[in-house]
Amino acid sequence: MDISVELKGVTKTFGDVTAADNINLEIERGEFFSLLGPSGCGKTTTLRLVAGFEQPTKGEILINNVNVSNKRPYERNVNTVFQSYALFPHLTVAGNIRFGLERKKTPRDKMQKLVQEALDLVQLKEMGDRFPHQLSGGQQQRVALARALVLRPEVLLLDEPLGALDLKLRKAMQLELKSLQERIGITFIYVTHDQEEALTMSDRIAVMAHGRLAQVGSPEEIYERPKTRFVADFIGESNFFSGEITAVNENNLHLKSDGGLALILPPDQGVSVGQHVNFSIRPEKFKVLPQTEASDWENQFVGEIINKIYLGDSMHYVIALSPREEITVFLKKERTAQQQVSFSIGDKVLVSWHRDDCVILAA
């Protein structure tokens, strides 16, 4: 495996606040890697440590297998796209892009070519002579990107680069960024608090909470197999249950939930009879049928609809399964499915779900 960036036990404290706590990460060359978490989780600090704006209190940072922990930002082959873009207001777009090249003592004619290429890359061909304040937010964002990419860094660091754009533009830029990254093959480390953004763009995601890594994995792993309640809650939406294991066999776990439901869960190592466990189910995993019909899935219960929300392309129902257990269910509106049936508040319905859709969470 070709490692681009490696963090070994990196810790950063500010006074008595630990912003990054024993972070261990290996990021592959050419990977689109996201640091995802709520504000204050340490994701930006981690990025700034890689950039060199902060020095680790403990641990080592390796870029291209070289320890750069105590190197200044200008000595590292990484570049940053800042959240505020940080374009130099006194320089033109071309001047901004040239800034780093001038430091590298690039020959004049080559520089001209590189600047033009960078402008083409971000589709700002004609904008070289403009000043940053004459550009829209999206264009400024592209200039920031071009300014960093023109230096061909080993790693490109992006600190919530789309945060200031409106929703439509953000969606478009997500796709554009992703395809750009695939084309040029530079390692991207992308900081965001937007879980959807991270899921769409990343090869791998590190979910962070309280300065620690909560889980590292592919978007699918993170979404389908969250390890902790925090991850399950932060990424998408989840229904949480807890209960006591009543029986363990080869294929199934049997569990009695706190609300008294007898449930079947997938087998899990390290779980024994009598143990109290937490697990989650994604709201789109449920099947909801009129009470009179039957489902062939392992878990099925009769519940009562207590709320419904119309969202255009889908319906959200809140269903009480037991006096203590309410679940949220997302139903896509499909033309062909029988689920076309719309339920009303107060209706009794049959809710069923597959054994394997229950994800057991670490305590």
Contact residues toward other proteins (CB under 8 A) are 51-53, 72-74, 78-80, 82, 84, 86-90, 99-100, 103-104, 147-148, 151
| Cα dihedral across residues 214, 217, 219, 224: positive or negative | negative
Nearer to other proteins, 52 or 283 (CB): 52
Nearer to other proteins, 86 or 261 (CB): 86
3 state DSSP class of 239: strand
Burial of 31 (0-12, 13-18, 19+ CB in 10 A): buried
Q: What is the dihedral of CA 102, 164, 43, 182, to 10 degrees?
A: -60
Output the CA angle 322-243-263, nearest 5 degrees.
65
Nearer to other proteins, 93 or 148 (CB): 148
As a whole number of angstroms, the distance between CA 136 and CA 130 comes to 11
Question: What would the two tokens of residue 231 be?
Answer: 């991850």
3 state DSSP class of 100: helix
Please state at what angle helix 167-184 crosses helix 137-149, rounded to 10 degrees: 20
Nearer to other proteins, 155 or 173 (CB): 155
Q: Pairing state of beta strands 299-310 and 348-353?
A: antiparallel
As a whole number of angstroms, the distance between CA 248 and CA 151 comes to 58
Nearer to other proteins, 99 or 223 (CB): 99
As a whole number of angstroms, the distance between CA 318 and CA 308 comes to 6
Nearer to other proteins, 147 or 170 (CB): 147
Nearer to other proteins, 150 or 319 (CB): 150
Nearer to other proteins, 92 or 339 (CB): 92
Nearer to other proteins, 15 or 323 (CB): 15
**CB of residue 74 vs other proteins: minimum separation in angstroms?**
5
As a whole number of angstroms, the distance between CA 173 and CA 170 comes to 5
**CB of residue 84 vs other proteins: minimum separation in angstroms?**
5
Q: Pairing state of beta strands 253-257 and 262-265?
A: antiparallel
**Hey, how many other C-beta atoms are within 10 angstroms of the C-beta on 83?**
16
Longest CA–CA separation in the chain, Å: 78
**CB of residue 86 vs other proteins: minimum separation in angstroms?**
4
Q: What is the DSSP string of 20-83?
A: EEEEEEEEETT-EEEEE-STTSSHHHHHHHHHTSS--SEEEEEETTEE-TT--GGGSSEEEE-T
